[in-house]
Structure 1
Amino acid sequence: MTFETLGLSTEILRAVADQGYSEPTPIQQQAIPLILQGRDLLASAQTGTGKTASFTLPLLHRLGSNRRPQRRSSSPRALILVPTRELAAQVGESVQAYGQYLPMRSAIVYGGVKIGPQIQKLRRGVDILIATPGRLLDHLGQGTVTLEQVEMLVLDEGDRMLDMGFLPDIRKILAQLPQTRQTMLFSATFSPAVKKLAADLLTDPVQVEVAPHNTAAETVEQLIHPVDRHRKRELLSHMIGYRNWGQVLVFTRTKHGANRLAEQLAKDGLKTEAIHGNKSQAARSRALAKFKQGAVQVLVATDIAARGLDIDHLPHVVNFELPMVPEDYVHRIGRTGRAGKAGQAISLVSPEEYTLLKGIERLLKRNLPKDVVPGYEPTTPLPAGVEMCSRKRSPHPRYRGNRDQGRGVTRPTRLPEGDLMRSSRSSVPVKPAKVPTPRFSGTDAARSSDKHMHSA
């Protein structure tokens, strides 16, 4: 199937071709025709499957096919609600890219930045509004926008909005929308809460689920490294330096933990930035831009801050700490292995986290492969119920960053048989590439610097 067979307008097809896409993904193949028909939709798809384009493309087509004279209006024709600033920016970029040949205006509104420029843009009139619930309510309260002419409503990552406590805000927003509209709800999971929200929102919806819920993409190779908590930072620095990783996204549980780890990795000689909810939007945007450009090697993030991050060909995700909620593990590792590209998700698991690991394995309905890195053996053995299991040979390349001369980016290459990324049974490690060696001085120094982070 090609995009031409989906019935999209010439202007949109031209914009899609400009982005380098020729074949729609499974969620796009199923969702786009239904939205073009005007149906309400309840859709579930793993992150990185092209979900954003599956609603932005038909939304743009329908608005473009029913064009209205350009006029100043306080009400958009389409409203896209998202849970985080980063996701709002990502969706806004998609709307701009795919709608570049259409005479439509769009605006993005979210908190953490000055409201004045947003007000000015809204007063000029917009066709498509991408918003987080809290900031949208601010604008509604000030009368800078109304929702009386909304024809299409999209709720993206509905499960995350519910997890973040946005349901009361969503209900206030829904009360100001026309009863007659087309509504689409996208969610990574079909939890009971999501289904209840769908029952309140949607009229005779079609349900689309392109992959089993709560599963990780097949393109992501998952691996567990058991290690003592106080040696995690040392092991992480070792992996990044020894394996010559050029780009890695690292998850921590807390904002303070993200700051502390970023400071420690910087002292180890790794170019590192942290993003979390306490950072201003400008600081988060700068850090993300530098990470995408290759100026930053390691980006340390909390779950909320990383929600909606869309980084092309991100090869590595590391769970420095396992999430408290098993479903968040799926969301985290979905930052890699996107759009059919192979990726690797590594979790550094201490004995205190074995219970969390068991919960993740129950969710995934399988035991994850576990390798002990030589020299980093945990002092506490794995408890009953947490089984050691070796990895099966994967069809996807294992990554070692290969610095692209003159461009500061990395390219994936296959690891030789002796690399430590292989099973710990490997007897002949390869000689590490010549990269800046992390500046930690032995285990004791690493333990000393780590104790502050873990006490937080």
Structure 2
Amino acid sequence: MDFDMLGLSPKLVARLAEQGITEPTPIQKQAIPHAMNGRDVMGLAQTGTGKTAAFGLPLIHALTTEGTKPAPKTARGLILAPTRELANQIAENLRSYTGGSHLSVAIVVGGVSINRQINRLERGVDLLVATPGRLIDLLDRRAVRLDETRFLVLDEADQMLDMGFIHALRKIAPLLAPERQTMLFSATMPKLMNEIAQAYLDNPVRVEVSPPGKVADKVTQEVHFLPKEGKQGKLVELLQRHREERALVFARTKHGAERLMKQLDRAGFAAASIHGNKSQNQRDRAITDFKSAKIRVLVATDVAARGIDIPGVEYVYNFDLPNVPENYVHRIGRTARAGRAGEAIAFCAPDEMGDLRGIEKVMKLSIPVASGAPWAEAEAPAKSGRGGAGNRRRRSSGGAGGGGGGRRSGGGRRAA
């Protein structure tokens, strides 16, 4: 099946072909026909599977077919994204799809001049990509109105829930046109997602190309058990083995990410960092340098996990394990994109055993052990007592105490 068989306009199919995009991905094959028929869609797919085109192409087709222009200060279609990086990535993709057409694409995110965004919205826009916080600021200033917005997309909706954007959504949604088409896309399916779907989608079609929590098939995973104070040395040791390849390193906190970046810089690596304390210009520059391989190591917090779409990221390091299991899936989804292979390497300190168990439960697999052995229950302190675990390890071949199910070094990728 190719794109013209999905009912897209010949001009749009030709624009895709010019970019070398000729065969739809599984999520696109399933979602686009329903979207073209005007149905609300709930799409579930792992990261890197082409969700942007799955919702973007039907929107572009519909807006082009209508042939009308947006009124001043209005947006005909609205795409909400949880982070600036993801919003930028979506806008970049949409602009590539709309090239040569009359459709306009605008982006409004925090961290940059709001006055420039106000001026851009004055003329109206066909497709508006926005983070909820900045959009509400613009609504409060009456710089944009949504009563003529008949298409709504919620991208990475699960992260919006994690970041508390549900309150913003409750404020934004009633302002849209009552008769509208809504699409929701997500890589995972937390329990609250069904409530979101019931509240904002009308009899949606659910399309799912992989179970929630499943990672790309070409990602090789491994975990190193080591004390917190040993993480930096292990990271430097592993990075030395592939200095010419790009590595994305995830830290849990902004200060931790910045400190780690400086340590890597002192160790002789071309490194940069991206986190909430960086300005938008600094974040954009870091991503641009990472894409061009001017820097080889990018240290990030989860703010970047959904917005980096770089096919050539060969390695993802979880220097700190995330305390939200689904975030692990999104992090390692930054590698093995566009059909390529990639490696995901995790470090687990004693007080992160609970996080590791949660991750493995979501993914329904045991991550193969590369070094060390699972920490015993007595060695894994409560979160309130982080950092006091010492260097003792349980050396048995079984799982961490009370965790159930043995772990095998280099063992099976997926539980039955």
- Counterpart for residue 153 of structure 1: 152
Tell me the SS of whatever aligns to 2:75.
Answer: coil
1:387 deviates by: 4.3
**In structure 2, distance between residues paired with 1:371 and 1:9:** 50
Tell me the SS of whatever aligns to 1:93.
Answer: helix
- Counterpart for residue 394 of structure 2: 381
Unaligned 5+ runs, structure 2: 373-390
Instruction: Give the residue type in structure 1 aligned to 2:167.
Output: P
Unaligned 5+ runs, structure 1: 395-456
1:71 deviates by: 6.0
Aligned residues: 390
Matches within 5 A, 1:128-277: 128-277=127-276
- Counterpart for residue 44 of structure 1: 44
Instruction: Give the residue type in structure 1 aligned to 2:198.
Output: A
**In structure 1, distance between residues paired with 2:252 and 2:412:** 31
**In structure 2, distance between residues paired with 1:277 and 1:194:** 26
Are the equivalent residues in 1 in contact too, given 2:223–2:345 (CA < 8 A)? yes
Choose 301-310 or 84-93, whichever is displaced more: 301-310
Q: 1:310 to 1:13 in 2, by over 3 A?
A: same
**In structure 1, distance between residues paired with 2:71 and 2:358:** 53
- Counterpart for residue 28 of structure 2: 28
Choose 56-65 or 352-361, whichever is displaced more: 352-361
Tell me the SS of whatever aligns to 2:235.
Answer: helix
- Counterpart for residue 435 of structure 1: none
1:281 deviates by: 0.5
Q: 1:224 to 1:144 in 2, by over 3 A?
A: same
- Counterpart for residue 390 of structure 1: 409
Q: 1:67 to 1:30 in 2, by over 3 A?
A: same
**In structure 1, distance between residues paired with 2:130 and 2:362:** 31
**In structure 2, distance between residues paired with 1:257 and 1:313:** 25
Instruction: Give the residue type in structure 2 aligned to 1:44.
Output: L
Tell me the SS of whatever aligns to 2:410.
Answer: coil
**In structure 2, distance between residues paired with 1:40 and 1:72:** 25
* TM value normalised by structure 1: 0.82
**In structure 2, distance between residues paired with 1:288 and 1:52:** 19
Tell me the SS of whatever aligns to 1:90.
Answer: helix
Q: 1:245 to 1:392 in 2, by over 3 A?
A: farther
Are the equivalent residues in 1 in contact too, given 2:311–2:340 (CA < 8 A)? no
Instruction: Give the residue type in structure 1 aligned to 2:361.
Output: R
- Counterpart for residue 378 of structure 2: none
- Counterpart for residue 10 of structure 1: 10
Instruction: Give the residue type in structure 2 aligned to 1:240.
Output: L
**In structure 1, distance between residues paired with 2:394 and 2:217:** 29
**In structure 1, distance between residues paired with 2:139 and 2:408:** 54
Are the equivalent residues in 2 in contact too, given 1:42–1:207 (CA < 8 A)? yes
Instruction: Give the residue type in structure 1 aligned to 2:263.
Output: Q
Deviations 1:266-308 (A, max 9, x none): 0100011110011111000001100111111110000123322
1:228 deviates by: 2.3
Q: 1:389 to 1:243 in 2, by over 3 A?
A: farther
**In structure 2, distance between residues paired with 1:260 and 1:387:** 36
- Counterpart for residue 64 of structure 1: 64
Deviations 1:99-132 (A, max 9, x none): 1021111110011111011111111221111111
1:16 deviates by: 1.0
Are the equivalent residues in 1 in contact too, given 2:103–2:126 (CA < 8 A)? yes
Instruction: Give the residue type in structure 2 aligned to 1:284.
Output: R
**In structure 1, distance between residues paired with 2:114 and 2:252:** 30
**In structure 1, distance between residues paired with 2:337 and 2:82:** 20
Are the equivalent residues in 2 in contact too, given 1:303–1:328 (CA < 8 A)? yes
Deviations 1:219-258 (A, max 9, x none): 2111112222211111111111134452100001000000
**In structure 1, distance between residues paired with 2:161 and 2:323:** 17
Tell me the SS of whatever aligns to 2:338.
Answer: helix
**In structure 2, distance between residues paired with 1:255 and 1:370:** 28
Tell me the SS of whatever aligns to 1:111.
Answer: coil
**In structure 2, distance between residues paired with 1:305 and 1:221:** 21
**In structure 2, distance between residues paired with 1:243 and 1:84:** 30
**In structure 2, distance between residues paired with 1:261 and 1:387:** 33
**In structure 2, distance between residues paired with 1:235 and 1:189:** 31
- Counterpart for residue 434 of structure 1: none
Aligned-residue CA RMSD (Å) = 1.8
Are the equivalent residues in 2 in contact too, given 1:12–1:101 (CA < 8 A)? no
Deviations 1:11-51 (A, max 9, x none): 21122112212111000000011111110111111110001
Are the equivalent residues in 1 in contact too, given 2:245–2:313 (CA < 8 A)? no
Tell me the SS of whatever aligns to 1:371.
Answer: strand
- Counterpart for residue 402 of structure 1: none
